[in-house]
Amino acid sequence: MRMMMTLLITLLSFSITHAAEDQRADTTFNLGSSWVLELDPDDQPYPDYVADPRRPRMHVGIGVANSDIPETSSGRVMLDLGTRYTLFKIQTDPSGINEFSLDIEGGLFTQFDPGNGLDNIGWDGRYGIFAVWDWSDKVVARAGYRHISAHLGDEYIENTGRQRINYARADLAFGLGYFLSDEILIYVEPSWACSMGNEARQKPWAVEGGLQYQEPHNMWNGSTAFYAAAHVRAFEETSWDPGVSAQVGFHITRDQRSSNLRLGLEGYIGRAILGEFALDYDEAYLTAGFFLDFY
């Protein structure tokens, strides 16, 4: 319970602080030959995987679950803290195509059990760095390194006696996305783990991909757009059984410099999302919540 309140207060503090940052200094520099460097840009050349339950994000979700995880109830509260941040962007063409950028990311993903006094079931931490290439505003690619480590909640350990299996992955990933139109993106991202916390049970290969749609902001004075997204994850270590997540809702923004709020429903079915349970249990859940993106 204390952990949940701390995370919730932190999430709200981040949201309020960032929403107040409406003015930014000019951080663009002409490098010559039409090359322009922009530090802390307003946008990100590589899109978010909107329905990926492990993308770094600010998120509060409340819902129901059908889970094989022992001694948990059918309720779920999910609090996530994190973001992907673009350090800089280099534009090589005045028309805005053929851009390069460097992204860093970090996230904390938690689950709490309202049927057991809001005990923390577990949490995953993730960080990474990616080099990005945006070619012609139709094709985008990225390559980089990311690390994820999984942990059990202290209350869950005390109540069940379960011990960690030491689930962790440090992998090299290559993502490729294609915009079928301004509103529709398809993408795929295979990865290979160069280091694993439990080499006796884990295997290196994984792949994820998806399809997402967002209409123009044509509702509520041009501030709101409907969106829908689906994401699939599969791991060699669990026999390539797919985990499917989907998200649908409304995307709300004031302008390019403001934070973006998503109000939506998120559903998932597949292996357990929390890494410490992923090799042993399956689950399905449906939550309603909000997602705050800083880009």
* The token pair that represents 73 in the structure block: 């109830």
Q: Output the pLDDT for position 20.
A: 44
Q: Which two tokens stand for residue 84?
A: 């992907």
Q: What is the Cα–Cα distance from 106 to 110, expressed in whole angstroms?
A: 14
Residuewise pLDDT in 10s, the chain (295 residues): 555 545 444 544 544 445 444 455 568 778 767 788 989 898 899 999 999 999 999 999 999 999 999 999 999 999 999 999 999 999 887 776 789 999 999 999 999 999 999 999 999 999 999 999 998 879 999 999 999 999 999 999 999 999 999 999 999 999 999 999 999 999 999 999 999 999 999 999 999 999 999 999 888 888 899 999 999 999 999 999 999 999 999 999 876 556 689 999 999 999 999 999 999 999 999 999 999 988 7
Q: What angle do CA 183, 36, 187 make, to 5 degrees?
A: 30
Quote the CATH superfamily of domain 2-293.
Phospholipase A1 (2.40.230.10)
Please compute Rg for the chain using Cα positions.
Answer: 19
Q: Hey, what are 65's tokens?
A: 């679950």
- Please name the residue ranges forming H helices in 97-136: none
